[in-house]
Structure 1
């Protein structure tokens, strides 16, 4: 689906920061069929394109101590004003604003739970050239241990509305709340089936109906089954034609399967890591990305934290140390290196001939 503009707080771009940029081009070119052009504005990095439209950036980490991760950019009309709102709402401004030529302004930030994201105020580059098609961005979720604080934070900063959709077979009656030692309200009761829907929330843009159809971002609660060293994070989803085949291809390319593939009521889901440790999700057969992607991950992410095998017999066990590195603990520098428009936006960029076969 071609994209032209983004609402306040809507995910508008993704960027992988990795130790080896050339290896990342090989991996994602083969996996998603991306082609690449240089990010000429700063002299390093690669713009990923899908059939000529910009879909992501790949950049080399300037410091080996920084996390290997996928960074999510959220659109804003005024990055400086949004940074002030972030701090007033209990989040952190981790840098910026920084001009990226005339493409736009960026600034890294963190929510009260510790999940890191990047603000993007567009100049000539708004963000994704296409979404919600195989090989392109599909969805994203904040995974947190502080749902009440995080819900209030994103509402205050971006004006999000929150809805907690029920799952098939579960009615809409809210279970008794449990308050943790820091005063954060957690969904839960002795009836896990009734409590489960409230562990996942959907955020819709300001003024939009509180309906999954209009959701732009999800929120999942990290349960006690997830390793304590694993920090809060944002999980990026890409759409694929065949989730199981893509998961097998990830392993063939040197990556790992953390969870799945597993069928959900909304599509087939797998959470994977590339050959350098950056974690992302792939999903196929989605009827509604906002409703489907989140519901699967809310169940699956916790299950995938231990040593298990997928339905295809792929060993996806990882240590807590591996998970912490992959998800990007405490990324306070370099979150978001560059987003550059594609040639269709009037910018030149030579193809590198590294287009893969896709999956």
Structure 2
């Protein structure tokens, strides 16, 4: 990811909704070296922030609704959550939650794009988002998996003003040309029951060792470690509760 701090339109945070918060803390703590701190306030609902050193890098939380899937979610920075929420609706998306204040930390929205991939908006106040990116154990890339790439490309460029860099095999999203993520068109190789979604990728020092550690801790590897044509080494993993996330070798970014 060419962005090293949260900027308007760029990804700023990722959080896991899980059916077993204690197990998730153990799994990711061992995998990435995260130190997890749960907000003690009752109204925070068990929201837990993961740190590397003093930097907040991600969050884990219980499922707040029965219909909520076990999954990682991605948040994007906006300067005005209310304005962006209206733009989402006007561009063919749907606002599910908010805009709402989260203590004094910021203003929050949960939305669906026109192909039903969930994503989040974050208008920062006292909390800007991830304090560390692109380093081992932290967020380094976000990827949209969708069955309607043309429609969502028009949607996200309208709502966020993203730049689009399309090669023969892959579409990349950017802010002012600084790429931070990509898009994969879901074809018939994806099971019908897998919905469109955003997937975070975390930087790691060794993809193969991380995948082996995940398997040893009860996870799975839907995409085993592989080297892409551009030299990037990646894997897609699932934690024991079923949440999918990617890892890539830090330093391979182009």
What displacement does 1:27 show? 0.5
> Which of structure 1's runs of 4+ aligned residues deviate more than 3 A?
none
Matched with 1:269 is 234
- Per mean C-alpha deviation after superposition, the further-off stretch among 156-165 and 75-84 is 156-165
| Partners of 1:4 and 1:129 within 8 A in 2 | no
**SS of residue paired to 2:98:** coil
**SS of residue paired to 1:215:** strand
Matched with 1:281 is 246
Matched with 1:28 is 28
- TM-score if structure 2 supplies the norm length? 0.94
Structure 1's 228 and 79: CA in aligned 2 closer, same or farther, altered over 3 A?
same
Higher helix fraction (1 or 2): 1
| Pair 1:255-2:225 in alignment | no
Select the residue among 46, 63, 66 that pairs with 2:65: 63
| Pair 1:76-2:41 in alignment | no
Matched with 2:171 is 201
| Pair 1:220-2:184 in alignment | yes
| Partners of 2:34 and 2:50 within 8 A in 1 | yes
Structure possessing the higher relative contact order (Cα contacts under 8 Å, 6 or more residues apart): 1
Q: RMSD across aligned C-alpha pairs, in angstroms? A: 1.6
The 5 Å alignment of 1:37-186 reads: 37-41=37-41, 42-166=44-168
What displacement does 1:98 show? 1.2
Deviation track 1:172-205 (CA, whole Å, cap 9, x = no partner) reads: xxxxxxxxxxxxxxxxxxxxxxxxx2xx211221
| Partners of 2:45 and 2:62 within 8 A in 1 | no
- TM-score if structure 1 supplies the norm length? 0.67
Unaligned runs of 5+ residues in structure 1 are 167-196, 292-359
**SS of residue paired to 1:97:** strand
CA distance in structure 1 between the aligned counterparts of 2:118 and 2:157, rounded to whole angstroms: 16
CA distance in structure 2 between the aligned counterparts of 1:6 and 1:256, rounded to whole angstroms: 31
Structure 1's 5 and 139: CA in aligned 2 closer, same or farther, altered over 3 A?
closer
CA distance in structure 2 between the aligned counterparts of 1:217 and 1:77, rounded to whole angstroms: 20
Higher strand fraction (1 or 2): 2
**SS of residue paired to 1:129:** coil
Matched with 2:208 is 244
What displacement does 1:156 show? 0.6
What displacement does 1:285 show? 4.6
Unaligned runs of 5+ residues in structure 2 are none
CA distance in structure 2 between the aligned counterparts of 1:220 and 1:10, rounded to whole angstroms: 18
CA distance in structure 2 between the aligned counterparts of 1:87 and 1:142, rounded to whole angstroms: 19
What displacement does 1:60 show? 0.7
CA distance in structure 1 between the aligned counterparts of 2:137 and 2:4, rounded to whole angstroms: 18
CA distance in structure 2 between the aligned counterparts of 1:256 and 1:228, rounded to whole angstroms: 20
| Partners of 1:17 and 1:68 within 8 A in 2 | yes
Aligned pairs, number: 250
| Partners of 2:136 and 2:250 within 8 A in 1 | no
CA distance in structure 2 between the aligned counterparts of 1:4 and 1:203, rounded to whole angstroms: 15
